[in-house]
A = this chain, B = another copy of it.
Amino acid sequence: VTIGSDPLVAAVDWGTSRLRIWLLDASGAVLAERRSDEGLLGVGSEGFSAVLERHLGEMNAPATTSVVICGMAGSRQGWLEVPYVAVPARLADVLAKAVPLPGGRRDVRIIPGVAQKSPDAPDVMRGEETQLAGITRSLAEGRHLVCMPGTHSKWVDIENGTITRFGTWLTGELFSVLTQHSILRHAVGTKPASVSPGNSVFRSWLEQALASPADLTSRLFKIRASTLLADLGPDDAAAALSGLLIGTEIGSARTQFGWRQRDVVVLIASGALGELYAEALRIAEHRVEAVDADTAVRAGLFEAALGHLADGGSERAKA
């Protein structure tokens, strides 16, 4: 890797299954990037510090470059448990509460997650708060509904840079678990094709789910029945399941948050999943403002780094 200008910070998104590292210069531009499967579950006996230093070494990062981390590395099973910040949570405050790791050669900080401790809607996030912080500047004043699809999809109500409320939908994990371990594995086959946003089966099951999201667990069996009675093939069964789960998520989330059709949804996502959700939200009659998830998390990590540098947070690294 050739580095044209000096790195200011290593921005790290350390999730359950993936690790991503970007070396950023003082303008926030990407000097180098690494992606690996060494998420929380893949770190093993090498340990978090050694995995990080190995990657930074391979990226030719100077030994003094500071590091800002978000995601599950801050969870109980991670590198260092960083206490949650409770809602209502001002995103700038969440970044400022990044916790420095004790010892070590360089300044390494982990951004806290956010918790909603109300007894009727307990919820947690780790990593998404940093993506949200990364888009806050680009949002107008006022209230915004944000959708962040994935294994555990998050929907977040943001008002003037503060998370007021959020929830998690198990959409991606249900798709994976049901296609691998339930009776639907017979319907979907061993290798479900990725679902195209233009697929008419996806659209039809999505629309049914939007019309009555309460009926998910009976509709699941109807996918199986459709393979017996209507020769629904494996790819269409996967599209049906995807439409059913995503439609249920959208129908449930917008009702819980008191939003309606026509309202704008800010969609933070990447790649094929982003395209699928963008189409799903349009079918659900929302206007969509799409933001790339990688760009968002990088911007949030960079902003956290700038704040700590301004605070003198790099003193130790200089010493």
Residues of A within 8 A of B (CB): 76, 115-117, 119-124, 152, 167-171, 173-174, 177-178, 180-183, 208, 212-218, 220-222, 225-226, 228-230, 245, 248-249, 251-253, 255-256
Contact = CB atoms under 8 A, between A and B. Distances in A.
18 contacts: A115-B225, A116-B225, A119-B230, A122-B225, A122-B226, A122-B230, A123-B221, A167-B221, A168-B222, A169-B218, A174-B220, A212-B214, A213-B215, A214-B251, A215-B256, A216-B217, A217-B245, A218-B252
A226 B212 CA distance: 27
A135 to B, nearest CB: 22
Given A122-B222, A222-B123, A214 B217 contact: no
Contacts of A122: 222, 225-226, 228-230
A117 to B, nearest CB: 6
Nearest to A225: B122
Given A122-B226, A217-B171, A180 B182 contact: no
Contact of A124 (B178, B215, B229): B229
A210 B266 CA distance: 30
Main secondary structure of the interface of A (DSSP, over half): helix
The quantity of this chain's copies bound in the complex is 2
Contact of A115 (B123, B215, B221, B229): B229
Contacts of A230: 119, 122
A75 to B, nearest CB: 9
A264 to B, nearest CB: 21
Contacts of A168: 218, 221-222, 225
A119 B123 CA distance: 38
Contacts of A228: 76, 115, 122, 124
A239 to B, nearest CB: 16
Contacts of A251: 214
B252 A217 contact: yes
Given A167-B218, A168-B218, A225 B124 contact: yes
B178 A214 contact: no
Going nearest first, the 3 A-B pairs with the smallest beta carbon separation are: A213-B214, A168-B221, A122-B225
